[in-house]
Structure 1
């Protein structure tokens, strides 16, 4: 197994200590109000979010940040980091990316192999979005863009499916069926993310997810933080 693959598995691991397991990104409200109530509807909700949010905004931002890190362009890192934070439409979504970004940046700070330039750049940012340190690690470990985007999308997908398994609720086999059904789209979506990063043709128009997230902020009982 080559080192880049091992590093990718590290970044995608559900035990990466960033708290990703505690967020549903509005899925919990969608279950609460009956929009998502079975495997088929969970599959559709997650697929829409994957295609219309992650592949069109978050993954392109990740690729652009990787390029900025590789070229040691601190100003570009700061600009892209701020621009991504500005795309978070609700308080919960904003808090999510900042908490996960802070946690991952702290982890990278404590890894001795990380160069001082990454630590100092993170320290210069008042707030850190999750894609920013993720891209720093991927760039430092010389991971190819397509592999990085595919892995980032997979990690998000796995987390969303496991949230659906807990919330709907669904059996573990149903969760695996959803992963098998949705994962073939990942390489194409990674290519789309790279194309959008090239052209800065980014968009984050997902009103259903935004409304679900805003409603979740006042949901009476919650398992998840978003």
Structure 2
């Protein structure tokens, strides 16, 4: 379990603080203005949006890594990159994915990592695939990896919301606490899902990420 605490910590050098996954646009547009609207927005993103799909992709990458199956890993990564709905969201997942993989290779080496990382050499690497690869090779069990990954996604977005100022730290903590049981339930359902079940229904956020590309003032890269 200890690697998860390190890898999903804000201190791990993946640059997560630079991205808001369209949340900055949602604040600008007035969709997110208080604690309740933030919770509703994040619930959609996490439970029927990108985080659900990312968790499925992570699970497949985890199994591929544990089996040393480079072809399956490559397939999951190609799908993850292709499904990014905008240029900014592709940058978000691929920049973090490559940074994560490089940081793990430099600081948490393990047998098989160089071999499987070579399968993705020269390619963009999606963040959930990189996390699944590292966890699978290090023998970190899939269920806690999924729970930790989803909770970290929620905390990252709440941190962005606090910096955007529609809520304070205490309100943000309440949002994470209320979402946590639903994220745990989602994590429990993920292992049974196939790659055919990757997909989401957060069209307004996806369009918002495109509009964010030309937003006049921006703190975040997505």
TM-score band (shorter)?
A: over 0.9
Identify the residue that residue 52 of structure 1 maps to in structure 2: 48
Deviations 1:158-200 (A, max 9, x none): 0011111111432111111111111111220101222214x74
Aligned pairs (5 A) from 1:189-204: 189-197=186-194, 200-204=196-200
1:132 maps onto 2:165 in alignment: no
Shift of 1:108: 1.9
* Residue-pair matches, total: 220
Aligned pairs (5 A) from 1:63-78: 63-78=59-74
Within 2, Cα distance between the matches of 1:87 and 1:192?
Answer: 21
> What TM-score do the two structures reach when normalised by structure 1?
0.92
1:120 maps onto 2:115 in alignment: yes
Q: CA RMSD in A?
A: 1.5
Q: SS at 1:82's partner residue? A: helix
Within 1, Cα distance between the matches of 2:52 and 2:172?
Answer: 24
Q: SS at 1:183's partner residue? A: helix
> What TM-score do the two structures reach when normalised by structure 2?
0.94
Shift of 1:156: 0.4
Identify the residue that residue 22 of structure 2 maps to in structure 1: 26
Shift of 1:55: 4.9
Q: SS at 2:14's partner residue? A: coil
Query: Is 1:54–1:153's contact at 8 Å kept on the other side of the alignment?
Result: no
In the TM superposition, structure 1's runs of 4+ consecutive aligned residues that sit over 4 Å from their partners are none
1:214 maps onto 2:210 in alignment: yes
Q: Summarize the Cα distance change of 1:163–1:220 in structure 2 as closer, same or farther, 3 Å threshold.
A: same
Within 2, Cα distance between the matches of 1:73 and 1:203?
Answer: 24
Within 1, Cα distance between the matches of 2:213 and 2:68?
Answer: 38
Within 2, Cα distance between the matches of 1:59 and 1:175?
Answer: 23
